[in-house]
Amino acid sequence: MKPSTVLTIAALSGIPVLTALGLALTMHHRTQPVTFSDQGVNVAMRLSEDGGRLLTTFTPQRPGFHLYSVGLPAHGIDGRGSPTRVEVAGALRSRGPLVAEAPVRMLPLRGTGVKFPVYPDGAVTTVLPVALDEHGPAQVVVSYAACSPQECLSPVMDHPVEIPADALAAMR
């Protein structure tokens, strides 16, 4: 059964999405991304082929939207903006800083002298060096916000994703 079929059945039967994601991952033995969508952004996570990096791709669903940089301070600038974050726990341990595979540009906020570090419009992939324990589940916590020149969508703060041990093994 395809993960998309599992998710569809889960959605129709009222099973929580994170549980369905874990179940969907256990049904495949090749690397499959863990995905979710929230506040106008599709998020897909997968381990690199060597298992040493967690790759997370953020794709705004509407054209003209971008994400804030991983380098934006935790509480933004003057309380504005939300940095892109990917944090791990459990069977995944961080081995270094989160970086993005996209250039950063400084975007001025209209009517102020403040400039925000953002990525170009569209998809951006972050890379987090990780170490993988042999046993147990992993937890990934994701935060981000998408904006266009006209509007900002509500930020997603500390979105938890549980990855069961058997699903994590299938991601290797």
Q: Give residue 135's domain range.
A: 35-162
Per-residue pLDDT, averaged over 58-70, amounts to: 97
pLDDT at residue 159 in the model: 97
55 part of a folded domain: yes
In a domain, 3, yes or no: no
pLDDT of res. 106: 92
Q: What is the DSSP letter of 5?
A: H
Residue 122 lies inside a defined structural domain of this protein: yes
Q: Is residue 1 part of a domain?
A: no
Specify if 15 maps to a domain. Answer: no
Q: What is the pTM of this model?
A: 0.79
Domain assignment present for residue 72? The answer is yes
Phi and psi angles of residue 87, each rounded to the nearest 5 degrees, phi first: -125, 150
pLDDT at 31: 60
For residue 164, name the pLDDT band (cuts at 50, 70, 90): confident
Would you say residue 12 lies in a domain?
no
Average pLDDT score, the chain: 84
In a domain, 130, yes or no: yes
Q: Domain tally for the chain?
A: 1
Examine the pLDDT at 14 and tell me if it is beyond 90: no
* CATH assignment of the domain containing 138: 2.60.40.1250
Residues 6+ apart with CB under 8 A from 79: none
